[in-house]
C-alpha cells in the first residue's frame, strides 16, 4: 500500500492543478477514502500492539517474569514500524487533502490552517 500511495502522490505532483477539475477532484476523493480506510485499520493495529506492549511491561514490572519482558520487547520491535507506517499514511492523507482542495477549486483552504 505504501508503494501505491507514493506512486499516486508522485502522479498528483506531476499534474497542473492551477485550474479546478471536478473529475480529478472526485478521483482524488476516492483515493482519500481508500487511504483513510488503511489509516483506520493501522490505527487499530497500532493501538492494539501498544496496549498489549504496555500490559506486557506491567506484568514484567509487577512479577519480574522474564517471559513478560521478552514478550514486551518483541511487541516493541513490532510496534515501532507500525508507528512509522501510520505516520506515513497520516501525512499522505493530509497531502491528498491539499491536492483535493486544489482540484476542487478550494485553494483558500490552504490559508485557513
Cα three-residue angle 112-23-18, rounded to 5 degrees: 50
Question: Which residues span the domain enclosing 66?
Answer: 21-103
- In this prediction, residue 110 has a pLDDT band, given cuts at 50, 70 and 90, of low
Cα three-residue angle 28-34-39, rounded to 5 degrees: 120
Does residue 6 lie in a domain region?
A: no
Does residue 9 lie in a domain region?
A: no
Look at residue 17 in the predicted model and tell me its pLDDT: 83
Q: What is the pTM of this model?
A: 0.78
Coil, helix or strand for 18? coil
* Structural domains counted in the chain: 1
For the record, the C-alpha cell of 24 comes out as 480529478
85-103 pLDDT per residue, tens: 999 999 999 999 999 988 8
CA distance 76 to 62: 18
How distant, in Å, are the alpha carbons of 22, 47, 93 from that of 9?
18, 27, 10
DSSP string, 65-94: -HHHHHHHHHHHHHHHHHHHHHHHHHHHHH
Look at residue 16 in the predicted model and tell me its pLDDT: 85
32-65 pLDDT per residue, tens: 999 999 999 999 999 999 999 999 999 999 998 9
Does residue 65 lie in a domain region?
A: yes
Look at residue 104 in the predicted model and tell me its pLDDT: 86
Does residue 48 lie in a domain region?
A: yes
Does residue 112 lie in a domain region?
A: no
Amino acid at each position: 500500500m505504501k508503494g501505491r500511495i507514493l506512486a499516486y502522490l508522485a502522479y498528483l505532483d506531476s499534474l497542473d492543478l492551477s485550474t479546478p477539475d471536478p473529475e480529478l477532484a472526485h478521483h482524488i476523493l476516492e483515493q482519500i477514502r481508500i487511504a483513510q480506510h488503511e489509516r483506520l485499520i493501522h490505527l487499530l493495529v497500532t493501538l492494539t500492539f501498544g496496549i498489549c506492549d504496555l500490559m506486557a511491561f506491567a506484568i514484567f514490572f509487577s512479577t519480574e517474569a522474564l517471559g513478560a519482558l521478552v514478550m514486551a520487547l518483541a511487541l516493541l520491535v513490532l510496534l515501532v514500524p507500525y508507528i512509522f507506517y501510520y505516520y506515513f499514511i497520516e501525512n499522505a492523507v493530509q497531502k491528498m487533502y491539499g491536492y483535493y482542495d486544489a482540484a476542487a477549486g478550494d485553494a483558500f483552504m490552504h490559508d485557513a490552517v
